[in-house]
Structure 1
Amino acid sequence: MGTVLGNFNQQSLPYQGKIASFSQRGDKLFISMPGLDGKEQEFAVAYTFGYQPLQQYMFDAGKGKYQFFPFAWDSRPKDDGGQRWFVLHPEQTPSDEFHWSNMGQNWNQMCADCHSTDYRKGFDLESQSYNSTYSAVNVSCAACHGSAEKHLQWAAGDKSIADKGYSTYIGAKTALFRENDQGLMQAIAKIKPSQQVQVCARCHSRRAAFNDSSAPDDYHHTYQPALITAGLYHADGQIWDEDYVWGSFLQSKMHEAGVTCTNCHNPHSGQLKLPGNLVCTQCHTQETYENKKHHGHVLGTSGSACVDCHMPATTYMQIDPRRDHSFKVPRPDLTQSLDVPNACNGCHTDKTAKWSEAQIRQWHPDSEILGAEHFATAFYKGDTGAADAGQELTKIAQDPRYPDIIRASALHRMAATPGQNAVVAIVRAVRDQDPLKRQAAIEAASAYPAPDKWRMLNSLLDDAHLPIRVEAARSLARMLVQPPETALSEKDKARLNRGLEEYREVQLYQADRGFAHTNLGNLEQELGRAKNAEAHYRKAIEIEPIFMPAYVNLADLYRLRQNEEKAQQVLRQALQVNAEAASVHYSMAMSFIRQGDKQAALPELQAAANAPDTSANFIYTYGLLLQDLGRLNDAVVQLQKAYHLEPSNPDISYTLSQLYVKLQQYDRALFYAKKLNTLVPGNRQIQQMVRQLQQQQKD
């Protein structure tokens, strides 16, 4: 066990209406807490995890499985609020992924591959046990530099060995920069290519693992990185969820210029190379930037540090602030139009974004940044379903002025906006050297018929990177069950089947998660193998009972068999696990509606609309049913909620306009008709509707 920071001297903490206690007997540590049955259980502490600003603790859950306790020790100084026990996720229940009993708090699957070296998960599906191994329990030299064999020979005196004998050499970094006569930053020496950022990305990025890592620099061969998407990032690319730096850094001008991690960070101590603004003024001149004329604040006060404005922090795990690495200029104008945060109002919480914009304009009256075009507008439109989103996203996807990750993220959103312009962008992305854009092209093509997708994507079956090959194969799987006129040749069938075999292997690597078995079930269902699909869905439920999509998909399989009774049986089983699951209540409601029982569907849709994980579509459907049952005023309330969540959804605006006509509230009907006209410009029927409502008001 590593260094224990927590106080185990008969400490206690309120937890779920009871008391958790922390104690020590001899050299062993123990934590007592209410178990899943509510009765007190005592667990021995097996390992510590982490150091600053908090330390977590693990227990042996059996069969090689290690879980985290729901408590952490705040290791900050007492004056900063630390030196105490606290509950990491106090709101979590047994149906939540991050409850201490579930996979979100599992070391083997969630944490070990980054926090140890040469990790092998070793999950066995048949016994549902782990035989996880590592060469070092923490991050050792080999985690970044690879095998030490030749390095030891070099250290022993064999100087003929290149790159100090490291199998992965990441020593090359960008030279420092200086400002030229035009005010632009230029490197003081030739920039050398470096694998450094990619090596760091293995752990400092949000990504899905497709296999155990085989080398420090195998990032795109082993992992599928997350793009700049809703739920992970704000529309302008600022961090929202735990994104682990890389996705932010790839957006930055620093990355574009060739800056690497070790220009700012000491990789061995984990500390900045220099304190405060000095790390920035290695490149950016003090005279220009560490000046009140630039940042508008008194030197030495909050707001005068470069990071205050260009690297705002978001706090995770209650006490762990992490800085955004996209190095953006504050844009309070985007806050006003798109509701994204800005660094100014992160400090000046008593002021408006309009005030912040005015302050910046006062300091920089000739600013070309405020009001400038930004990809955030297109991303916001794509995320909210705006009618013109496709056109704007297509432009960004093909615009070389934007970083690769932004272009890829635009492509990813184009899945909801198919069209001829999108086809051109997808085909170009498939041929692009950047793996992020090739990855995103697969998602962008998802809405097209299988033969069209084949023409666009089939070359990716031979891609050098495993994640791209398998996702392309999965996207094209339907080509194996095409009618004769669009059927593949035997050669192409073999290519596709090879990719699907790799896809299945990837899912089996993640066989300790419900999503993997659900993915396999979805594949089998698409290939017309319903019995196999059913078996995979049931295995998903067995492996991870809280994974609601497995129940929903299994119920849908029974729907296709016209067995509504069995579908509802599965959904009731799901609700016993998670009574608030919106998707399950929605599926139950649809089952009742298919049977013509709208009254029975009503409380299910109400539950779906009020659930914590609801969606605009669930609320919209609830409003439609209320309208259908003649409860027009109640329908208005729900439809307005849906509108608030998705103001760019034309269906919602249309329904609200028509509903207000029925209620003879023509001013409100006109408001939503005009909104619809902006969402779907040039539509003659909508324009006619607006004119009629305007005339109605005059009458």
Structure 2
Amino acid sequence: MFKRLTPFKQALCLFSLFFCLKLSAAQLDDAAYVGAQACSGCHQQQYQQWQQSDHHKAMQEVNPKSVLGDFSGATVRFHNIESRFYQQGKGYFVDTLDEAGKANTFQIKYTFGFHPLQQYLVEMENGHIQALNIAWDSRAKEQGGQRWFHLQPDESITPEHPFFWTRYFQNWNTRCASCHSTNIVKNYDAQAHSYKTTWSEINVSCEACHGGGAKHIELAKGGKLGDIDNGFIAAIPPPLSWQFTPGEAIASPLVAKQGKASAAPINSNINMCGACHALRTPLTEKVGGEDFHNANRLQLLSDGAYYLDGQIREEAFVVGSFLQSKMHGAGVTCSNCHNPHSGKVLIEGNGLCAQCHQPEVFDTPKHHHHPEGSKGAACVNCHMPERTYMQVDDRRDHSFTIPRPDLSRTLQVPNACTNCHDGQRGKNDAWAGEQLKTWGIKPAATHWASLNARSQAGDVLVTRGITRLLDEANSPAIVRASLLQGLAAFPSRVSVEAAQKNLQDKSPLVRRAAINSLQALPADARWQLLSPYLGDESRSVRFQLAETMADLMPQLTPEQQAALLPLIDEYRASLAVSADSPAGQGAIAQLELNLGNIDAVEKAYLQALRIEPNYVPVLLNLADFYRSANRDADAQELLQRALDVAPDSGAAQHSYGLLLIRKGDLAAALPYMKLAVEQDDATARYAYVYAVALDELGQTKAAVNTLVKATKRWPNQYDLLMTLVFYLEKTGNTFSIYQYISQLTAIAPADPAVKQLVEKYTR
């Protein structure tokens, strides 16, 4: 049995974007790429800084200098699997289990990263490069380092587990290569499920960020370098300069006097750095060189990677956090704080923040209320709290928020105060909130996190609150987009009007979310509202249109089909970029399903399972596809496998219960339905179906109890409330009915059934 793997977790890369790599077995002969050494003559300072950076040290061929781990015959045991690390001649080896569960010997070809951990890569058959999930903790011994450790200590890892080192989630070619190498080309052969991956350099070099340097060198030699044409794929303007205005505690951009600060430096930095420092789906194979949203689909804050208030939860990296920040809104960008060549911050300590925040105002006990020089006096510890990934890798949140212990109490999100004082007697969230009050710090009356929480709980009454926030011009685009996307679950006149108003927003994130929120509209209305935007300048927006409109194709006129088909073809070609991932094949299957190409649907799902046989989202989706084709025997096999892999998956439990109901065994289905409701990924629908099943088996009182709990977890749900009222009547428990009728009146006042209940119980 395995611990539950959520679809989100399965979509995460297991490796830190802190590390970057490049293989040397099949170097790419590309005249546009000249190598970092060619840059060193004219850019000595930048070259020397880069040589000391994480990028430069990211991956190396194994040798006594590059290998940090103990290969002296060290034997370790994790998950009842013994592994031995040793040297033989000049080679480095590990004896461990292979994909068949048999003891085998593997040669280590490359080191991967160096601090705070180092991983090791093994070259397998068919061009697959796999990363061991036993890593070396390269921190100092007094910090707990200098030891072997497992990257997934809480999972029950066996050769069948999706996180076993020989399987998809530990594959370098698809999981890491695009951001851990220079000029990577995967060259994936779907039929053979093989790679002939090529690259330019072994690490993340100059051209990984700037693009091929051949033309730049040619222009430089000819004395033709200019501000407009410097020979690179995109000119990188310097970051905005900042100055203090008399009487102001926070600096402003120099250009602010002449109008709004230019977005060029901000966007250019995000375009260059963002693709490899964001949780995103690539839309093109090449990394960098164009607008971030034209090349990537950024994961929004409501998609599971973040806490309800936008703090990092899973490995969401940096961009999604930074786009929430007041810093980004003011014009701050990556290179205002980071040296892009060394990777280090420009100034250590509070001096970094003092570039724009007057230290006599902010770097004093009057502001931070801690002793000078203490951990609590460090700006980053309050406004950029750390979260640990990969067991030892501490990463800071880049949303630059003010601690909100009040939100911790109501929404169970973390806050910097109790994070730091964790374990200290009496110093809990309530204590932290009181401390802020005594310091004169009053939290804002409202916070978008409350709307996000209600939206994710399916509360239909949140719609107007979201629409009001959407009208606030100072709300970050990523926040507006995340909430707007949630309106897809609440189709109404109000939500449609809100989406329509945002279809022309300047942010691609907001436009994309507006389109997504209209997916439930009838075909005619969808075409009428969305067809004018088929030529949107951003790929991420256009491809959202393709997803949302693909199922309209069979219903459209020939002229309308001709207008939509080029976009469908463009989107299909983009999906090929991720065709070596189960999620990518799942997206292909969904597109073909919407288009009615049934054979292509099954083909894509089966290819996904060839890539990763135990990828739960595809197991469930293919099972549902077989259900629709009256192939329940095939569906049952897949659902059983999903339960074996993810017994804590509510979706798997619910789907298996439904299968048993279709087979006529309601009693056997009941335990699965019950388990489904109890899981973290449960939905209101699971509770509704479970309650109906209980009632069918004569357990109406148990059904009532289930629905009462469900209405607290998922408030203002019509089906839950109406069914609860019906069962309360059935059990004669009418004295409890009034509160639920009141809720029904609030969410559906014009509904005939609700009106009938009101009339019945108020006369």
TM-score (normalizing by structure 1): 0.90
* 1:141 pairs with 2:209: no
Greater displacement, 576-585 / 77-86? 576-585
Give the distance between the partners of 2:404 and 2:622, measured in 1 at CA. 46
Partner SS, residue 529 of structure 2: helix
CA contact (8 A) 1:670 1:694 kept: no
CA contact (8 A) 1:68 1:107 kept: yes
* Partner residue of 1:129 out of 194, 198, 208: 194
Identical amino acids, percent of aligned pairs: 37
Q: 1:382-393 to 2 correspondence within 5 Å? A: 382-393=455-466
* 1:493 pairs with 2:543: no
The corresponding residue for 1:52 is 115
Partner SS, residue 186 of structure 2: coil
Give the distance between the partners of 2:558 and 2:652, measured in 1 at CA. 41
The corresponding residue for 1:181 is 247
Partner SS, residue 224 of structure 1: strand
CA contact (8 A) 1:479 1:488 kept: no
The corresponding residue for 1:268 is 341
* 1:222 pairs with 2:292: no
Given the superposition, is the C-alpha separation of residues 330 and 618 from structure 1 closer, same or farther in structure 2, using an over 3 Å criterion?
A: same
* Partner residue of 1:317 out of 382, 390, 395: 390
Give the distance between the partners of 1:460 and 1:181, measured in 2 at CA. 46
Given the superposition, is the C-alpha separation of residues 138 and 666 from structure 1 closer, same or farther in structure 2, using an over 3 Å criterion?
A: farther
Greater displacement, 648-657 / 345-354? 648-657
Partner SS, residue 584 of structure 2: helix
Q: Structure 2: which amino acid aligns with 1:229? A: S
CA contact (8 A) 2:250 2:357 kept: no
* Partner residue of 1:398 out of 471, 478, 481: 471
Shift of 1:373: 2.2
More relative contact order in 1 or in 2 (CA 8 Å, sep 6+)? Answer: 2
Shift of 1:383: 0.9
Given the superposition, is the C-alpha separation of residues 665 and 23 from structure 1 closer, same or farther in structure 2, using an over 3 Å criterion?
A: farther
Give the distance between the partners of 1:87 and 1:593, measured in 2 at CA. 41
Q: 1:142-221 to 2 correspondence within 5 Å? A: 142-153=207-218, 156=221, 158=223, 160-162=225-227, 165-178=231-244, 180-181=246-247, 183=249, 185-188=251-254, 191=261, 193-194=264-265, 195-213=268-286, 215-221=288-294
Q: 1:297-696 to 2 correspondence within 5 Å? A: 297-349=370-422, 350-364=426-440, 367=442, 370-482=443-555, 487-490=556-559, 492-572=560-640, 582-609=650-677, 614-615=682-683, 617-632=685-700, 634-635=702-703, 638-639=706-707, 642=710, 645-647=713-715, 649=717, 651-652=719-720, 655=723
Greater displacement, 315-324 / 335-344? 335-344
Unaligned ranges ≥5, structure 1: none
The corresponding residue for 2:27 is none
Given the superposition, is the C-alpha separation of residues 462 and 8 from structure 1 closer, same or farther in structure 2, using an over 3 Å criterion?
A: same
CA contact (8 A) 2:242 2:251 kept: no
Give the distance between the partners of 2:114 and 2:647, measured in 1 at CA. 37
The corresponding residue for 2:136 is 73
The corresponding residue for 2:181 is 116
Give the distance between the partners of 1:225 and 1:610, measured in 2 at CA. 31
Shift of 1:81: 0.5
* Partner residue of 1:64 out of 127, 143, 148: 127
Shift of 1:442: 2.2
Unaligned ranges ≥5, structure 2: 1-60
Greater displacement, 275-284 / 102-111? 102-111
* Partner residue of 1:280 out of 330, 350, 353: 353
Shift of 1:634: 5.0
CA contact (8 A) 2:118 2:135 kept: yes
Greater displacement, 347-356 / 17-26? 347-356
Greater displacement, 674-683 / 456-465? 674-683
CA contact (8 A) 1:239 1:324 kept: yes
Q: Deviations over 1:538-568 (max 9, x none)?
A: 3333333112333433333343344444543
RMSD between superposed Cα atoms in Å: 3.1
Shift of 1:528: 3.1
Give the distance between the partners of 1:615 and 1:357, measured in 2 at CA. 32
Q: Deviations over 1:388-423 (max 9, x none)?
A: 111122222332121111111122111112222222
Give the distance between the partners of 2:724 and 2:627, measured in 1 at CA. 31
CA contact (8 A) 2:233 2:289 kept: no
Shift of 1:688: 9.5
Residue correspondences, number = 687
Give the distance between the partners of 1:638 and 1:33, measured in 2 at CA. 48
CA contact (8 A) 1:313 1:323 kept: yes
Given the superposition, is the C-alpha separation of residues 690 and 71 from structure 1 closer, same or farther in structure 2, using an over 3 Å criterion?
A: farther
Given the superposition, is the C-alpha separation of residues 569 and 252 from structure 1 closer, same or farther in structure 2, using an over 3 Å criterion?
A: closer
Greater displacement, 612-621 / 112-121? 612-621
Give the distance between the partners of 1:650 and 1:352, measured in 2 at CA. 37
Q: Deviations over 1:269-317 (max 9, x none)?
A: 1111111100001110111001111111111112111111111111111
* 1:235 pairs with 2:308: yes
CA contact (8 A) 1:386 1:679 kept: no
Give the distance between the partners of 1:7 and 1:667, measured in 2 at CA. 70
Greater displacement, 347-356 / 565-574? 565-574
Give the distance between the partners of 1:502 and 1:98, measured in 2 at CA. 33
Give the distance between the partners of 1:228 and 1:586, measured in 2 at CA. 26
Q: Deviations over 1:232-265 (max 9, x none)?
A: 1122211111111111111111111111111111
The corresponding residue for 2:41 is none
CA contact (8 A) 1:179 1:285 kept: no
Given the superposition, is the C-alpha separation of residues 67 and 672 from structure 1 closer, same or farther in structure 2, using an over 3 Å criterion?
A: farther
Shift of 1:177: 3.8
Q: Structure 1: which amino acid aligns with 2:292? A: Y
Q: Structure 1: which amino acid aligns with 2:253? A: A
CA contact (8 A) 2:271 2:288 kept: no
Q: Structure 2: which amino acid aligns with 1:187? A: P
* 1:13 pairs with 2:76: yes
Shift of 1:456: 1.9
CA contact (8 A) 2:162 2:614 kept: yes
Given the superposition, is the C-alpha separation of residues 54 and 636 from structure 1 closer, same or farther in structure 2, using an over 3 Å criterion?
A: farther
CA contact (8 A) 2:602 2:622 kept: yes
Q: Structure 2: which amino acid aligns with 1:110? A: R
Greater displacement, 186-195 / 326-335? 186-195
Given the superposition, is the C-alpha separation of residues 488 and 683 from structure 1 closer, same or farther in structure 2, using an over 3 Å criterion?
A: closer
Given the superposition, is the C-alpha separation of residues 573 and 233 from structure 1 closer, same or farther in structure 2, using an over 3 Å criterion?
A: closer
Greater displacement, 462-471 / 601-610? 601-610
CA contact (8 A) 2:239 2:335 kept: yes
Greater displacement, 349-358 / 638-647? 638-647
Shift of 1:88: 0.4
